[in-house]
Structure 1
């Protein structure tokens, strides 16, 4: 699951594509990477700080 967490930090990678790459279901990713329930931003340190402010 360490590899899944690494892949999830890239916004270009979808959960579906990562699951296919790893040979598991999306459900399995959500089960073993519980941080996904809080959203992908929870996997990227300081993700909100790097986004431009919305107007």
Structure 2
């Protein structure tokens, strides 16, 4: 079963940062993401990896 992808806003809430910060983390390669059309989505496993390793 596939996990539901998280929105930038959901990730921002979990990290207690702004959505702009999440976009910067994604653009800098610190959080892996996928683009679905014009929007960014983040796999929960990628977020967990970021939290565990900081990159």
Q: TM-score range by the shorter chain?
A: 0.3 to 0.5
Name the structure with the higher strand share: 2
Name the structure with the higher helix share: 1
Larger Rg: 1
**TM-score for both structures, normalised by structure 2:** 0.41
